[in-house]
Amino acid sequence: MKLPRNEGLVLSALGRLGGRSELSQLSKITGLPDAAISRASLELSRKGLLRIIDSTVSVLKPTEEGLSYARDKLPERRLVELALRLGRRAPVGRLAGMLGLGDDMLSIAIGWVRRKGWGRVVKEGGELLLEVEGPPAEGADERLLRELADRGWAILEELDEEGRGAAALLKGRSLLEETQRSRREFELTESGWAAIEEGLEIESAITALTPDLIRSGKWREVELREYDVAATPPEVYPGKKHIFVEFLEEAKRILLEMGFEEYSGPYVETEFWNFDALFQPQDHPSREIHDSYIVKNPSSGWIEFPDLVERVRRVHEDGWITGSRGWRYKWDRAVSERLVLRTQTTAVSVRYLSTHKEPPIKMFCISNVFRPDVLDAKHSMEFVQLDGIIGDWGINLRHLLGFLEEFSRAIGLGEVKFKPSYFPFTEPSVESFARHPKMGWIEFAGAGMFRPEVLAPLGIDFPVIAWGIGLDRLAMIKLGIEDIRELRSTRLDWLRDRPLM
């Protein structure tokens, strides 16, 4: 079986350790850091090659005193060994003196000599003598103490019966202490053994490619561990452009490519530019409070071009020189100076024409307009409109239809069809529909040719075609959004999760 390096090392070490071991041993044998062994063993357990067994064990550790006895031997042994050197029989007082044992320690040592049957104490002429036979074999307690001193610890449950007895003894003498801890062991499964028998092929794979490996060229000797490439990564959120702004930028890009000049105008607009210059009579329903936001502060502005104001007045009242009958009412300058929130970006088109009178003219504006509405899924008091105009000698209605067809395709909709419509400032007026691949015919743009009553006061004597498109609705269709509020969504997770396309 072929395994990554660490996994192979752990598995074979476990085999060598008899099929069951814990982290520290594995670490010693494999030379791997604990974390690497943990990772590898988790991986191996996932593969069914080993089992992870968690349990609680008693850890034995020598006390200070225990350690000193491990170094200097137990006092009873030192007593017996000295007695041996002094001819198997020596006065206790002299032995204690030579070993430097205090009275307390001496009596403890003598007590253990007796209990271990290493010698006997006899009284001769008022003096206590220690008699020994020969050197006693190493006791289980001494062996355990030595091991503890060597390794620093032992696991009670791993000791044999004799060892457990010795541990109890040493514990009683306060030479070791016992603490509880949880233990993780690793045990080979049947398949683990089978894999070892079958032979392990060790990849010398590592996880992280370090600058050191790269610099030293050691990367040639190692193999980079293969990852679970299908695992789910943690979530990250990019800095991301807003989908609606991107849609507006796309519309703008198309128009720039078509050779249009971008233009802008004020959000707060005089009624003059928003309505009067567009030949909307002053009592037109769309000028009522139901259909436009009136600005209270500031409440009125002024018009930059007095001559234009006069011509617009005439054209409303009697048609001026245009051949029109006009709207036949008394035009009020004060009304035209009132301020409203722009209801249509057509106001920007007319502003443009007031200062750009040389054909050819190709202009567009993409910006916010405002109409009284309560914000809900289908209505908004503020939305983005695209208005555009083309003016030149020879421009006609068929060019308008042609432009709308071209723009529809560019924005990703299909063929277009047209029907008559009405706007106070255009004649002929056109409503255009574009075919959406799924939704069928959708209303696309309102359009028309500016009326002479609009153009003549501006001093424009060539024809101008104009159109307006509500970009919110179009964006909703293009982006598959059903609630207009989502175009200005306040939900961060929605914006984060929403694909750009």
For the CA atoms of 138, 141, 144, 150, the dihedral, rounded to the nearest 10 degrees, stands at -70
Pair 222, 4: CB distance under 8 Å? no
Among 440, 490, 499, 501, binds other proteins (CB under 8 A): 490
Pair 343, 274: CB distance under 8 Å? yes
- Region 247-306 residues binding other proteins, contact defined as CB under 8 A: 249, 252, 255-264, 266-270, 283, 285, 288-289, 293-304
CB of 327 to other proteins, least distance (A): 8
Pair 188, 15: CB distance under 8 Å? yes
- Region 156-175 residues binding other proteins, contact defined as CB under 8 A: none
**DSSP code, position 482:** -
The neighbour count for residue 364, using CB atoms within 10 Å, is 25
Instruction: Answer yes or no whether residue 59 interacts with other proteins by CB under 8 A.
Output: no
CB of 205 to other proteins, least distance (A): 34
- Region 221-240 residues binding other proteins, contact defined as CB under 8 A: 235, 237-240
Only one of the segments 86-94, 177-185, 207-215, 321-329 lies at the binding site for other proteins (rule: CB under 8 A); that segment is 321-329
- Tokens, residue 420: 């008559």
Instruction: Answer yes or no whether residue 500 interacts with other proteins by CB under 8 A.
Output: no
Closer residue to other proteins in complex, CB, 20/417: 417
Closer residue to other proteins in complex, CB, 238/480: 238
- Region 423-482 residues binding other proteins, contact defined as CB under 8 A: 427-431, 449, 451-453, 463, 465
- For CA atoms 84, 90, 95, 97, the dihedral sign is negative
Pair 400, 386: CB distance under 8 Å? no
What are the Cα distances from residue 66, in Å, to 57, 75, 164, 241? 21, 11, 16, 71
- Region 198-217 residues binding other proteins, contact defined as CB under 8 A: none
C-alpha closest to that of 154 among 165, 167, 141: 167
- Region 299-318 residues binding other proteins, contact defined as CB under 8 A: 299-304
- Region 353-412 residues binding other proteins, contact defined as CB under 8 A: 360, 362, 368, 370, 372-375, 381-382, 390, 392, 394-399, 401-406
Closer residue to other proteins in complex, CB, 140/484: 484
CB of 307 to other proteins, least distance (A): 15
Instruction: Determine the Cα–Cα distance for residues 145 and 277; give it in Å rounded to an integer.
Output: 107
Closer residue to other proteins in complex, CB, 229/501: 501
